[in-house]
Amino acid sequence: MRETAVAYARGVVGALIVGMPTLLTMEMWWGGFTIPPARILLLLGVNAGVLALLQHYSGLHPAKTPAGQLRSAIVALGIAIVVSTVMLLMLGVLRGDTVLRDAVAKVALQSVPLSIGASIASTHFDAHHAETESRRESGLFFQSLAMGVGGAMVLGFTVAATEEPMIVGEQLTWTQAVAIALASAVLVFGISYAIGKRRLKMDPFSRK
């Protein structure tokens, strides 16, 4: 019981650490009533797959049985929904006159980054377990790619929801856009090379 309570507490803190920038982003509030419900549902579906994977490699609880991972993914989403609702109420984004459809959509949208934060809470706070660490170390290319999607969602939400990237995109010339893409590719390769050399011996398809 104590271990479960501590894991849930880590999940709340992890959700706040990762999700606070989006909770304070006005465009995320608007997204609750400007984004079509079908797209929000699609995003939640993708997020569910990411959560299931994160429970395998990190997660709220060291138990890594399929049932345990499913429970942890559901709990992470539940934590995110509760934290999102409470924070949006405290910030005044959700009020007594807020339409139910808009309130649900706002909470659903905010729950995506917060649920990922809750799922990686054990990693944030060094609550590593030997089995979990071994799973991460032995991940293959496509599993690592899927984990990268989760990381991209965490980092991307802080800027993707804002208006500035669209404005910058309209102002860029083709030369500037290509230069940014090339610079990004070089940085990604450099990071991947360093990690691969240190941990995977430059063979992303092999197990360590």
Instruction: Encode pLDDT of 166-204 as tens digits.
Output: 888 888 888 998 999 999 889 888 877 776 666 555 444
Q: Which residues of 9-18 are buried (b: 16+ CB within 10 A; e: fewer)?
A: ebbbbbbebb
Cα dihedral 157, 163, 166, 168, rounded to 10, equals -100
> Angle CA(4)–CA(78)–CA(18) in degrees, nearest 5?
90
> Angle CA(156)–CA(80)–CA(123) in degrees, nearest 5?
70
Report the distance separating Cα 188 and Cα 137, nearest Å. Answer: 20
**Selection from 8-12, 146-150, 173-177, 199-203 with the highest mean pLDDT:** 173-177
Report the distance separating Cα 64 and Cα 85, nearest Å. Answer: 29
User: pLDDT: is 25 or 147 the higher one?
Assistant: 25
Confidence (pLDDT) at 82: 95
Residue with tokens 């271990």: 3
Side-chain-facing half-sphere of 123: CA atoms under 13 Å: 18
Task: Look at the pTM and tell me if it is higher than 0.85.
Answer: no
The enclosing H or E element of 207 equals none
Q: What is the pLDDT of residues 50-80, one digit of tens each?
A: 888 777 766 666 556 677 778 888 888 999 9
- Tell me what percent of the residues of the chain surpass a pLDDT of 90: 23
